[in-house]
Structures are given as structure tokens and as C-alpha cells.
A and B are shown apart, each in its own frame.
Chain A
């Protein structure tokens, strides 16, 4: 089962590269995940669980909570990194419609598995976060959408909600105050696109996970046409600790623009893959060498995918310059994304890797927008040719052209998510592609093929099946 053994989240204090005074850091969200029965209410209550919610529900003004989260500078941990407090303040007010909170636990980005640990090992932390968030935004109904693969996570979260309900933390008049809250746990069924916020909302509404065009943003018109706040599981869990300890406490870690801490998921050719909660702004090298224990069997680093499969790839030279915060990765042309770091060593064939990536996106495209539905398919097909050492002349340019024409032309960003890695592979590993190009140009090959199977126009006319047989000149005379 999933909870067999986990690499312990590294307790070592991280040396921050910023001039800020170094503050020792130990895991916050993942502090208790390796303790037995950490998913139960008894365990959570023993370590001060639900005390924060009790202290604020019905006492603090909701607007103050929003301001507090805004001041902390917490940014969405799902991938886009949008400031959470700002998102909450965009909520449409006075519409008379109910407000919903939708917690995104779909976590479908390959390379990411942080939410799995929170849901399986510490679900009450999330429930408390949901209670606080709902109180802050004035919502009475929260949906938590989990991906279908989280089997144990679903069972434990559902059990946690029931436990909280029995205690009166969820339901009518929570904590004896004048506030109601229903938490509904929805289980998906294996669709990457449901990790996109509007796709997830479509799925909760009982349809295919088709994303919707923005604007209107969910904060104005989301679930069932009502104002909806969509946040990641990790973001909501972090809210508990920020409300408890205050914005200044959160800001002591991280960089100026990316304050706080984040869970990173390390996979690939490292000695100790797993999840590591660190302050934002530590170097990528530190993550790989200190936390990950370096590369397996003394292999050499070739590339790193820094933020889930959709993040543009970083070469070994770029890795040396990279720190783990939103700005640094953006300046390198990549993104922090959901924090799924995959280390590729020199044995990895980059062409196989990009073919695998393109196959993934082709499979997961929902099919609404033509540039994505067809573009991902084309990228996969052309990458497949390279994968089988059968690239044609002009194919490298063709890949770049398709990728360029996919970006920014679709409802959601899945097309970009497929095009970005392709463009970065083409940029940094062009030689790998060119080594697999055969001599014949694809267009020429097609032309030869067409001439072989298609009779020319001349031969059609000669046999009487051509235009001459359809020439109906006699009709013209009668008119």
C-alpha cells in the first residue's frame, strides 16, 4: 500500500541564498505524516487540532481573515502561483447566490504527489483549512475534488469529514456559532483535465471535465453559475498555519515575492526520491544533492523538469543558476508549477522522454478545442517518428511550428502545457532531434507516395472518367 514507507521529510534547516537572516525551518504541513494514526481526529486534536478554527469562527470578522492571508503573501500552490488573498478578494459580492469553495485535490500533473500525503496522512489539517476558508469567504458548502487514483486518500478524507461532523465542527451551527458548513468529497475518475479549475467544476457539476472559457472567472461565475473560490489542497492546508501564527511568521521564510514554504516532490534518478517541505528560494542543487541525496550510482545530471511534466525542461547549466521560487524559474523560461521535480540523468533518451510526454498530453486532451485536440496528436505523431529513428527533414521545424500555433489559442492551458515542454526540448536538445532525421524530406516522400497511388489527371481524362464525361454542353443551348 501507499503508506508502506516514506522518506522522512528532511528536517535540516535550509541555508537561504537571500540576504535575509537565516531562519531555521522544519516541516510544517508534513510534520506529523510519519506518525502512526496521524490521520485520525484523536491524533489531530492531541496536537492542537481545530483550536485555530475554534478561536476564529464566529469571533473574527471574515474580512480580517482575508486580509491576514493577503498580508502573508501566500501564493496558490496548485501551479499558477496566484496570490490567495487576492483571489479571495475578487469574489463577487451581493449577488444573492450561494458562494462555493472548491478544493482542487485532482493533482493530475505527472511528477506531483504532495496532496496524496496530506490526504492520506493528515486529512484533518485540510478539513480545518476548509472550515477557516469557508468562514473567510462566506461559503456554506465546500467541495473537495480528489482524483480517482487517491483510493486511500478518499477513504481517509471521507472518514475525517464524518469525524468532524460528529464533533460539530462541520454541519449546522459549527463550533456552536452561527455558521453552517457542508463538506462534500467528490472522487474523480482519471482525467488530467479535471485538474484545470473550470474542468474540475464541470466534473463536479456532473459532466465531462470540459474547461470553460475565462472570463467570467470562477470567483464571479463558477460552480452552478455561482461565485466560487478554487484553491489547491496544499494552499488550504497552509491557511491553517498562517491564521494560527500570523503573516509575519509565514514571511520569515522564502523570498520577497515568493514567501513561505512549499512541498516539493522529487522523482527520477535521485537516491532519495520523495516529498520535501522546504522554504521557497533554496537552490535546485541543494534540493537534488542535500535532500535527494544526489544522483543514483554517481550518474551525471542531464536535465531537470522543475514543475511537473508541463514545465519547460532545464539543462544542467540552468540547474546551477536555479533557485526554487516562482520568479527564478520564470526568469529561466520555466515555471515552479506544482513542485514536481523530476531529475533526468545522462542515460535518459530525451527523444523517448518527449515522445512519452506528448503521448500523455494527446491522451489527456479533452477534445474541445481544435488546436489542442489535433495539435497534441500531431506532436505525438511527429515525436513518434523521431522515437523510431525516422524523423524527416523539416520535422524539427514542423514540431516547433505546431507548438507555436497551439499556444494561447485554446480555452484552457492544456495546449500550452503540451507545447511548452516541446519547445524547451527543441531549444535545449535540438541535436538529439537532428541526429534522428533521415535524409528524405517528408514532403518529398509524400509526393512520391502520392504519385505512386494516384493516377494523374491526364490518365483520368483519357479513360473517359474525367471532366469530359461530365461536360453537359447540350443543356446550355436550350436555355
Chain B
């Protein structure tokens, strides 16, 4: 959860993960098809799939960021920044839910960490959620946490595991009892405070440069002497289908290139008044 104090844009993973990526790129028929595995790399690299990670993955796999985001939101197991560092996934499908096994596990997590499904602790260390089948239905309840798989996870086994994690983090159950948890909401912006898009200031506010993004480098800002539809709103067509420059027009007769209704005087039938 510690924010990295870098404002520079990264376009790659660390060298060893890039080596892994090149391995995938060679093995798969195209880079897009390696997405599932590259997203796993991103998860390892960043701890969760942040917006920055999604941009890197999009760049590497030659797809749009929107496509990557579509993937990340479709597959439930990818870890997102709003999840806790230790993400408890408790199976709630029928086979685990029978005999209240799921409830038993959830109650124990709630008792230790104070978090119900859909919540994370105030410090973002632990989160809990109900998920669908984790495929170990003969030993309920099944829980996954920190890329590890546990079955028959209730009673003393779960308590021991929770204690172990609390000890690792130097936390106590009493602390989580005292402070109320936070709801995990995927709609909450996940960008960390340090993260800036290109053209943004340190504080996150967009710089207000009056610059037209469509102008080429060296050209000035939009002024009145730049030819364009707004600068010359009134053009006189010479004849139907031919504009002022003599080139055939794709526009309807009686309308100029900007789509404005043109001078009715040059065109009798369009000039007739209605009513």
C-alpha cells in the first residue's frame, strides 16, 4: 500500500518480468493472446492491477487501455488497488454454503479483523469478500488468500492463520475492533495521489495551456486567421453540387461545407418561403 514516490511514467516492468513477457510474446501466436498471463505479471509487479499497470500492459500487448480494463473487470480474481493487501476470498457457492460452513469462516474473519464481505480494514491491510466456487467442494469451507489455497478453513485452522498474518503485520485484533472498516467500492478512483497523467501538475490539476491538440508542433494557437468553418460561416455556392472553389461538393445543395443553410438568393427552389 505504500505509494511509490515516482512521477515518471513507466512503460515497462522490471527486467526479469520483461524477460518473462518476451518469453510469452514468443510462445503465443500474438501479443494480445498473452494478456491473461501478462496481467498476472502486472499483478506480481505492482501488488495489484493499478491504472498504471493497465497502461503498461496495454502498451506491451498492443491493445487499448479500455480493453485491458475490460479484462480486469471481467475476471474476478485479478487483485485491484481497492482490495486489501491480504485479500480473503471465501467460497459462498452451494457446496461450501451447506451446513453454514461459509458463514462460519466469514464470522471468524469478522471477529478477528472486523470486516464483513465487501469491506476492508481502515489501513487497507485486509479485505474480505464472498466469491463463487473455488473448486475444492469436498472440504468446505474453501478460502483463498495471498495466492494460497486453503480447504476446511474454519475453527482453529483459520484462527491460526489469521493470527499468523496479524503477527506478520504487527497488528492486533483489538485495533481492528476499535476502528470501523471501509466498504470496498470499485467505483472509487483507484489512482494514487502521486500518479499524474501527462500534462498534469503535481497536485493532480490539469495544466491549463491553451493548446490545440490537433495542431502540429510549431504552429500557433487557434486564431481568427486560421481557415476553418467557424471563420467563414457564409459561402456562396456557384451552382448546385459545386462549391466556391469549384470542387464538387458532397453536401446537399443549398448548404455550405459547414452544413449551414446557404444564401437562398442563388437557388430559387430553396428560396421559396414556407406557408
Most chain A C-beta atoms within 10 Å of own C-beta, residue among B71, B97, B132, B149:
B132
Q: Mark A199-211, 1 if CB is under 8 A from B, else 0.
A: 0000111111100
Residues of B within 8 A of A309 (CB): 93-94, 133
Q: Quick check: B150 and A148 within 8 Å, CB to CB?
A: no
Contact A189 to B135, CB < 8 A, known contacts A1-B150, A203-B36:
no
Asked if A82 is an interface residue, CB under 8 A from chain B, the answer is: no
Name the CB-closest residue of A to B135.
A113
Q: Quick check: B28 and A357 within 8 Å, CB to CB?
A: no
Asked if A157 is an interface residue, CB under 8 A from chain B, the answer is: no
Q: Mark A207-230, 1 if CB is under 8 A from B, else 0.
A: 111000000000000001000000
Most chain A C-beta atoms within 10 Å of own C-beta, residue among B77, B137, B140, B275:
B137
CB distance from B141 to the nearest CB of A (A): 12
CB distance from A303 to the nearest CB of B (A): 12
Q: Quick check: B132 and A152 within 8 Å, CB to CB?
A: no
Name the CB-closest residue of A to B40.
A187
Asked if B63 is an interface residue, CB under 8 A from chain A, the answer is: yes
CB distance from A32 to the nearest CB of B (A): 19
Q: Quick check: A364 and B132 within 8 Å, CB to CB?
A: yes
Q: Quick check: A268 and B132 within 8 Å, CB to CB?
A: no
Residues of B within 8 A of A353 (CB): 94
Q: How many residues of A contact B (CB 8 A)?
A: 60
For chain B, residues 76 to 124, give those with C-beta under 8 angstroms from any C-beta of chain A.
76-78, 92-95, 97-99
Name the CB-closest residue of B to A7.
B138
Instruction: Name B28's contact: one of A113, A148, A184 (CB within 8 Å).
Output: A184
Q: Mark B24-61, 1 if CB is under 8 A from A, else 0.
A: 00011110111111011000000000000000000001
CB distance from A432 to the nearest CB of B (A): 16
Interface-located stretch among A48-56, A103-111, A282-290, A375-383: A103-111
CB distance from B82 to the nearest CB of A (A): 16
Asked if B4 is an interface residue, CB under 8 A from chain A, the answer is: no
Asked if A23 is an interface residue, CB under 8 A from chain B, the answer is: no
Q: Quick check: A344 and B75 within 8 Å, CB to CB?
A: no
- What separation, in Å, do the CA atoms of A462 and B8 have in the docked complex? 65
- What separation, in Å, do the CA atoms of A26 and B2 have in the docked complex? 55
Q: Quick check: B133 and A357 within 8 Å, CB to CB?
A: no
- What separation, in Å, do the CA atoms of A287 and B63 have in the docked complex? 50
- What separation, in Å, do the CA atoms of A147 and B36 have in the docked complex? 11
Q: Quick check: A2 and B136 within 8 Å, CB to CB?
A: yes
Asked if A16 is an interface residue, CB under 8 A from chain B, the answer is: no
Q: Quick check: A190 and B131 within 8 Å, CB to CB?
A: yes
Residues of B within 8 A of A124 (CB): none
Q: Quick check: A189 and B93 within 8 Å, CB to CB?
A: no
- What separation, in Å, do the CA atoms of A187 and B35 have in the docked complex? 10
Contact A208 to B71, CB < 8 A, known contacts A265-B138, A356-B94:
yes
Residues of A within 8 A of B99 (CB): 269, 347
Asked if A182 is an interface residue, CB under 8 A from chain B, the answer is: yes
Asked if A273 is an interface residue, CB under 8 A from chain B, the answer is: yes
Name the CB-closest residue of B to A6.
B138
Q: Quick check: B275 and A149 within 8 Å, CB to CB?
A: no
Residues of A within 8 A of B149 (CB): 1-2, 149, 151-152
Instruction: Name B137's contact: one of A2, A203, A342, A347 (CB within 8 Å).
Output: A342
- What separation, in Å, do the CA atoms of A207 and B32 have in the docked complex? 8
Q: Quick check: B33 and A205 within 8 Å, CB to CB?
A: yes
Q: Quick check: B151 and A191 within 8 Å, CB to CB?
A: no
Q: Quick check: A357 and B144 within 8 Å, CB to CB?
A: no
- What separation, in Å, do the CA atoms of A275 and B74 have in the docked complex? 31
Asked if A306 is an interface residue, CB under 8 A from chain B, the answer is: no
Asked if A360 is an interface residue, CB under 8 A from chain B, the answer is: yes
Asked if A261 is an interface residue, CB under 8 A from chain B, the answer is: no
For chain B, residues 148 to 202, give those with C-beta under 8 angstroms from any C-beta of chain A.
148-151
Contact A356 to B74, CB < 8 A, known contacts A2-B136, A206-B63:
no
Name the CB-closest residue of A to B94.
A356
Q: Quick check: B135 and A268 within 8 Å, CB to CB?
A: no
Residues of B within 8 A of A266 (CB): 138
CB distance from B198 to the nearest CB of A (A): 26
Q: Quick check: A189 and B138 within 8 Å, CB to CB?
A: no
CB distance from A233 to the nearest CB of B (A): 12
- What separation, in Å, do the CA atoms of A4 and B136 have in the docked complex? 12
Asked if A47 is an interface residue, CB under 8 A from chain B, the answer is: no
Asked if A112 is an interface residue, CB under 8 A from chain B, the answer is: yes
Asked if B134 is an interface residue, CB under 8 A from chain A, the answer is: yes
Q: Mark B216-228, 1 if CB is under 8 A from A, else 0.
A: 0000000000000
- What separation, in Å, do the CA atoms of A268 and B138 have in the docked complex? 7
Q: Quick check: A275 and B134 within 8 Å, CB to CB?
A: no
- What separation, in Å, do the CA atoms of A479 and B94 have in the docked complex? 69
Q: Quick check: A269 and B36 within 8 Å, CB to CB?
A: no
Name the CB-closest residue of B to A120.
B149
Residues of B within 8 A of A129 (CB): none
Q: Quick check: A184 and B36 within 8 Å, CB to CB?
A: no
Asked if B139 is an interface residue, CB under 8 A from chain A, the answer is: yes
CB distance from B101 to the nearest CB of A (A): 11
Asked if B70 is an interface residue, CB under 8 A from chain A, the answer is: yes
- What separation, in Å, do the CA atoms of A309 and B138 have in the docked complex? 14
CB distance from B57 to the nearest CB of A (A): 10
Name the CB-closest residue of A to B27.
A184
For chain A, residues 103 to 145, give those with C-beta under 8 angstroms from any C-beta of chain B.
107-113, 116, 141
Name the CB-closest residue of B to A109.
B133
Asked if B147 is an interface residue, CB under 8 A from chain A, the answer is: yes
Asked if A274 is an interface residue, CB under 8 A from chain B, the answer is: yes
Binding site for A on B (CB under 8 A): 27-30, 32-37, 39-40, 61, 63, 67, 70-71, 74-78, 92-95, 97-99, 131-140, 144, 147-151, 275
Give me 28 A-to-B residue pairs in the complex whose CB atoms sit less than 8 angstroms apart, sorted by A's number.
Answer: A108-B135, A110-B135, A111-B95, A111-B137, A112-B135, A112-B137, A113-B135, A116-B135, A149-B134, A151-B147, A151-B148, A188-B75, A189-B77, A192-B133, A204-B36, A205-B33, A206-B34, A206-B35, A206-B36, A206-B61, A207-B32, A207-B71, A265-B137, A273-B138, A273-B139, A309-B93, A356-B92, A356-B97
Counting from the closest, the 9 A-B pairs by CB-CB distance are A189-B75, A190-B77, A206-B35, A273-B138, A110-B133, A206-B32, A267-B137, A189-B77, A190-B76
